[in-house]
Amino acid sequence: MLSFLDDREVRVLVTGGTGFVGKSILRLLLHDLNHPNLSMVVLSRHPNRFLSSYPEFVGDSRLSLFRADTQERNSLPWSHTFTHVLHAAADVATLSSQSPLKCYNQIVDGTRNILDLAVATGARRFLLTSCGAIYGSQPPDLPSIPENWPASPPLDEPCTAYSQAKRAAEHLCALFGEHHSLETVVARCFAFVGPDLPLNVHFALGNFIRDALTSDAITVRGDGTPLRTFLDQRDLAHWLFTSLEQGESGQAYNVGSDEVISIASLAYLVRDILAPDKPVHVLGQPDLGAARNRYVPDISKARHDLGLEVTIPLAESIKHTGEVLRHRSNSDE
């Protein structure tokens, strides 16, 4: 049980509450945080559509959806009162099809609006979900990226707009923390797995799970050599709520797993767990002279400062995700 629920009322505003991160948070609320002092307002552009698609979130008196868009200041709940804000809007899955300029503006403008809202509604704590992409490319000889790693994506490449915008959003948090005495914390999120992971965008694990459940083979589009880690979305929700409550103001924490696996090994692991009879096709050929691509967080700071741990192994996460998705598919038939 999180200690901030022990003896006072907690009213949390969540943006991005209907996305991958948001649904992880809502499930934590409904299943693990059964406490009368906690209530949550979730911003959504289409609340009725969301509740129709996810009826499991209907009927909990602690949860309310508010029709709003982070880009439209007049739509925001300025008359409410909040103690905490968890800003998880504008994730990479929803922005991948937008122009770099639109992506940048949506992240930066939305963060500024929600920071203004946090101050106006009396919030004490603010958590921004940022991204490991703010570090730029990870050197092949760096096993994992710590929070104080000084590198950044190149400024002259439009394709880095998402990463640059997240960096700007982090800086806005620092400015608001200094000017308004708002306690701001940053969660730099890496890669995740769970039943709400999109299966039809550029997430390799989501694509492999989709293939295992619906295709004749599991296909690896590249050479399978990149190294990645994946945190279960149930752990993700706990890590974010703990960071919101206990994270030191002005600090950033990597959020992810340290269980490293290659993309090719990941495809075979998904096959072995969800579809043992299906083949795995690796379409690319490894370049033996190329540096190995890595995207691996150093999570020792979250462990040491916040007492956080990876509690669900990757294999268990994949099995759970496949079981839930199969159940959903059967229920829809």
Q: Per-residue pLDDT tens for 212-223? A: 999 999 999 999
CATH number of the domain to which 118 belongs: 3.40.50.720
Beta strand extents in the chain (DSSP E only): 10-15, 38-44, 63-67, 84-87, 125-131, 183-189, 192-193, 218-220, 227-228, 231-232, 252-255, 261-262, 280-282, 294-295
| Strands annotated E in 192-325 | 192-193, 218-220, 227-228, 231-232, 252-255, 261-262, 280-282, 294-295
Q: Would you state the pLDDT for residue 333?
A: 58
Question: Residue 267 falls within a domain, yes or no?
Answer: no
165 located within any domain: yes
The closest alpha carbon to 140, from 264, 314, 289, 303, belongs to 289
Is 33 part of any domain? Answer: yes
Please count the structural domains in the chain. 1
- 7-49, pLDDT tens digit by residue? 578 899 999 988 999 999 998 877 777 677 889 999 999 999 9
Q: Which two tokens stand for residue 29?
A: 């609320």
Looking at the chain, how many residues does it have? 333
The confidence score (pLDDT) of residue 1 equals 46
Considering the domain boundaries, does residue 268 fall inside one? no
d(CA 231, CA 128) in angstroms, rounded, equals: 18
Is position 49 within any domain? yes
254 close to 247: Cβ distance less than 8 angstroms:
no
Which residues of the chain register pLDDT less than 70? 1-7, 34, 91-96, 288-289, 291, 332-333
For residue 95, the model assigns a pLDDT of 66
In a domain, 272, yes or no: no
Q: What is the pLDDT of residues 138-163, one digit of tens each?
A: 998 999 999 999 999 999 999 999 99
